[in-house]
Amino acid sequence: MEKVRLQKVIASRSAFSRRKAEDLIVSGKVRVNGQVVVKLGTRVDPKNDQVELEQQALEVQKKVYYLFYKPRGVVSTLYDPQKRKTLREFVGHISERLFPVGRLDYLSEGLMLLTNDGELAQRLAHPSGLVKKTYHVSVAEDITLLHIKKLRQGGMVEGQWVKPVSVARILKEDALWLEFILREGRKHEIRTLCEQVGLQVTQLVRVAIGAFMLENLRPGELKAVDREFVLSLFNSLLNWQGSGERPLG
């Protein structure tokens, strides 16, 4: 079997990016066939070589994908030092080690993609903004056309100027909501932009990640998604965007 770079093997079998995998290698936390490896660029045989991270074997797992409705008041990680409710309470029964693609704020809710496919997760979460994300937002105030105009112009978030792909008013549950479409969502971006134009967010729901839709999922519910479906959607997006990135397979 053709040998591949060690950091790629680590990324494909864990939640770590290739860059983080390189840091782990250099810091002496990776062993191949029982020997510590610190040299970047080392190639291994994924089928026959035994790779360990911090003395734990990194085994090849079947790639699995789930759509998940993260409820409000849940941390979008598997561990929280403040002892708040985490994703682990919803995925603990699944044998594969899942991790989230991207995050949602503690007070936000809606669609997340959970997987053990490290390469896909890193590609989808990359800050290049390849994948658009759609949010529905309820606010305490009446939404005017002036609000929409100002929101479309963008604003400063975390020291950088950000601008949504689009902002619109929509009718939902017999009330007017805002619909935001973002490429690169910064922390509290929507809440900050709304606050800057005098709007207080009362509910924020992510309803889509690219072509993945929240649809009829209920808070706390998981839905398994076929690997071929996931890859076909991602690769068709690459072709449509003309990004030049290597397709996944």
Q: Which residues are catalytic?
A: 105
Separation of CA 64 from chain center: 15
Residues 220, 86 contacting (CB under 8 angstroms): no
Pick from 184, 213, 65: which is nearest to 125 by CA?
184
Catalogue the long-range contacts made by 224-227 (C-beta closer than 8 Å, 24 or more residues apart): 224/64, 224/65, 224/66, 225/65, 225/66, 225/67, 226/65, 227/63, 227/64, 227/65
Class of residue 158 by CB neighbours under 10 A (exposed 0-12, middle 13-18, buried 19+): exposed
